[in-house]
Chain A
Amino acid sequence: MRKIERKDIEHIAKLAELDFSDGELEKFTVQLDRILDHVARISKVDTEKILPTSHVIEIKNVFRDDIVKKSIPKEDALKNAPEVSDGGFKVPKID
Chain B
Amino acid sequence: MSKKYESVIGLETHIELSTNTKMFCGCKLSFGEESNVHTCPVCLGHPGSLPVVNKKAIEYAIKIALAVNCKIREYTIFHRKNYFYPDQAKNYQISQYDLPLGVGGYLDVDMGDYVRRVGITRVHMEEDTGKLLHTGRTGRISESVASIVDFNRGGTPLIEIVTEPDIKSPEEAKEYLIRLRNLILYRGVSNCNMEEGSLRCDANISVKKVGEERIGTKTEIKNLNSFKFLQKGLQYEIERQTNLLESGGKVIQQTRHYDNNTNMTKVLRSKEEAHDYRYFPEPDLVPMHIESKVVDEVRCTIGELPAEKAERFEKEYNLPKYDSSFLSNDKKVARYFEDCCKLYSNAKNISNWIMGDFSALLNKEGIDINDSKIKPANLASMLKIIDGGKINSKIAKSVFEEMFKTGESPQVIIEKMGLEQISDGGLLEDIIEEIIKENPGTVKQYKNGKKKAIGFLIGRVMARTKGKANPKMVNEIMTKKLK
Binding site for B on A (CB under 8 A): 11, 14-17, 54-55, 57, 59-72, 74, 77-78, 80, 85-95
Contact = CB atoms under 8 A, between A and B. Distances in A.
B40 A89 contact: no
B148 A74 contact: no
Nearest to B85: A94
Nearest to A81: B149
Interface string B52-79: 1111111000000000000000000100
Contact of A85 (B52, B148, B273, B283): B148
B36 A60 contact: no
B37 A71 contact: yes
A69 B39 CA distance: 10
Given A66-B57, A86-B35, A88-B35, A54 B281 contact: yes
Contact of A61 (B37, B151, B281, B288): B288
B294 to A, nearest CB: 9
A92 B136 CA distance: 11
A52 B136 CA distance: 50
B34 interface: yes
B36 A87 contact: yes
B289 interface: yes
B135 A85 contact: yes
B297 to A, nearest CB: 14
B424 to A, nearest CB: 64
A65 B286 CA distance: 16
B150 interface: yes
Nearest to A16: B84
A63 B53 contact: yes
A79 B181 CA distance: 40
A5 B287 CA distance: 35
B140 interface: no
Contacts of A91: 86, 146-149
Contact of B145 (A63, A67, A93): A93
A15 B92 CA distance: 12
Contact of B44 (A55, A61, A80): A80
Given A65-B56, A85-B135, A91-B148, 8 more contacts: A15-B83, A60-B287, A63-B58, A66-B54, A69-B40, A74-B34, A86-B135, A94-B147
